[in-house]
Structure 1
Amino acid sequence: MDLTLRPAVAGDLPAVGALHQRSRVAAYRDLVPAEALAAISPESMGRWWTERWPYERETHLLTVAERDGSLAGFTYVGPAETGEPDVGELYAIHLDPLEQGRGVGRALMIDALATLHGRGWRHAVLWVLAGNERARRFYERGGWRPDGVERQGNIGPAVTRQLRYRRDLP
C-alpha cells in the first residue's frame, strides 16, 4: 500500500476534479447546504481543472498522491492572492474521503510546505471554512495559525465564511 506523490499531468485533471468534488461533499456536508454541494458535478469540476491548467501550470503546482495507482489526494500551491512577494499560498488540499486518517494529508502537507519553501517564499497562507473544525485542527497540528483575516467565498451558490491561516516556512 505505497503512497506516491508526483506533479500532476493533464491526464490527471478529470480524476482530480472528481476527487475534489467527493472531498468537498464529505468535508462540507454539515457546513454547506446539500443543494449547493450538488450544484457542481464531478464532471464539471474536472472541466474546471482542465480549463485552468494551461494558464496556471507555469506559476502553480498541482501535486497528486496515489496509493496503489489510485488517486488518494492532491494539493495546489502558488503565489499568494494578496500579491505579497514573500508569501505563497496553499490553495487546496483534498483527500479521497476513504483516505482520511491514513497519512495522505500529512504527506501532502509536508510536500506542499517544501514546495512553497523551494519556490522562495518565506511564509505561507491558506483559507479554511470557519466551521470546518476537523480541517482547522489538522492545519494547527501542522503549525498553521489563524491570522485574524476573514473573507466570504462561495461553494456553488452558498456563501461561506472563511478564515485565513498563516505560518512561516522552514
Structure 2
Amino acid sequence: MSTAEVRPATPADAPEIARIQRMTWRTAYAELVGDRALAELDAPGTERRWAAAIEHPGTAVYVAVEGVSTVGFCVAGPAPEEEVAGADGALPADAARVGLVATMLVEPRWGRRGHGGRLLATAAAGLRAAGAERGITWAAQSDSATLAFFRRAGWHPDGTVRTLDTGEKTLREIRLTGTLDLRLATP
C-alpha cells in the first residue's frame, strides 16, 4: 500500500496543482461553471499564478500525496472581511479569528481514500496555529459530495449564500462554518 501524506506545497508543485484543478473542474464542475471558465484553466500563466499563490504571505497551500502522485490540494488562510460578513454586510464578533478554506480539491480518481480529510485537518491545524478559532468555506449548493464531506467534518451551512457569475452561467454557493479542532479518525 502506498504512503499517503499532506505537506506544504512548494512552487515546484504548481503544475500538478493546476493539472488537478483542470481535471477536477472538468469532471465535477463542467455543468456548473461552463466552457468559458474551463477554458480559462488552460490559459498561459496558470501554473505561474499557482506558484505565486503558494508563495503569498499568510496563505497556506497544501498538497496531498499518495506514493509519488500528487492527488489533491487545499488553500487556506485568514478569512477576508467580505468572505466572513453576513448577507447584510455586518461582521460577526469573531471576524478577525475566522479562517477560510478557499479551495480544496482531490482528483476524482483518488477520492474516498482519506485525502480530503487529511487536507482539511492539516489546513485546520495551520489556521489554528495562525490564531483562527473557526473556519468557513463555500460550496456549490448543488455539489452534494462536497456538502456531505464538510457536514461529516462538523461544518454546516450558516444561512449565507452568494451567486457567482462565470460569464456564461451563474453558480449559487452556500457558506459552511465549523470547528478547526479536527482530528483524523483512526481505524
When normalised by structure 2's length, the TM-score is: 0.81
> 1:89-113: per-residue Cα shift (whole Å, max 9, x none)?
0011111121111111111111111
Partner Cα distance (1:138, 1:165) in 2: 11
> 1:68-97: per-residue Cα shift (whole Å, max 9, x none)?
111111111001022721101001111112
Distance 1:107 1:155, change over 3 A: farther
Matched, 1:61 2:60: yes
* Residues 40 and 156, structure 1, Cα contact 8 Å, conserved in 2: no
**Equivalent residue for 1:31?**
32
Distance 1:53 1:114, change over 3 A: closer
Distance 1:168 1:152, change over 3 A: same
Matched, 1:81 2:80: yes
Partner Cα distance (1:64, 1:30) in 2: 26
Letter aligned with residue 26 of structure 2:
V
Query: Structure 1 stretches (4+) deviating beyond 4 angstroms?
Result: 154-157
Q: Give the CA deviation at 1:33.
A: 3.0
> 1:35-56: per-residue Cα shift (whole Å, max 9, x none)?
54244227653233134444x2
* Residues 104 and 116, structure 2, Cα contact 8 Å, conserved in 1: yes
* Residues 76 and 103, structure 2, Cα contact 8 Å, conserved in 1: yes
More strand per residue: 1 or 2?
A: 1
> 1:4-43: per-residue Cα shift (whole Å, max 9, x none)?
2111111111211111111112221343334542442276
Distance 1:85 1:155, change over 3 A: same
Partner Cα distance (2:123, 2:170) in 1: 27
Structure 2 unpaired stretches of 5+: 85-94, 182-187
Larger CA Rg, structure 1 vs 2: 2
Q: How many residues align?
A: 168
Distance 1:6 1:156, change over 3 A: farther
* Residues 87 and 121, structure 1, Cα contact 8 Å, conserved in 2: yes
Letter aligned with residue 66 of structure 2:
R
Matched, 1:164 2:175: yes
Structure 1 unpaired stretches of 5+: none
The Cα RMSD (Å) is 2.0
> 1:139-167: per-residue Cα shift (whole Å, max 9, x none)?
10010000111112244643311111011
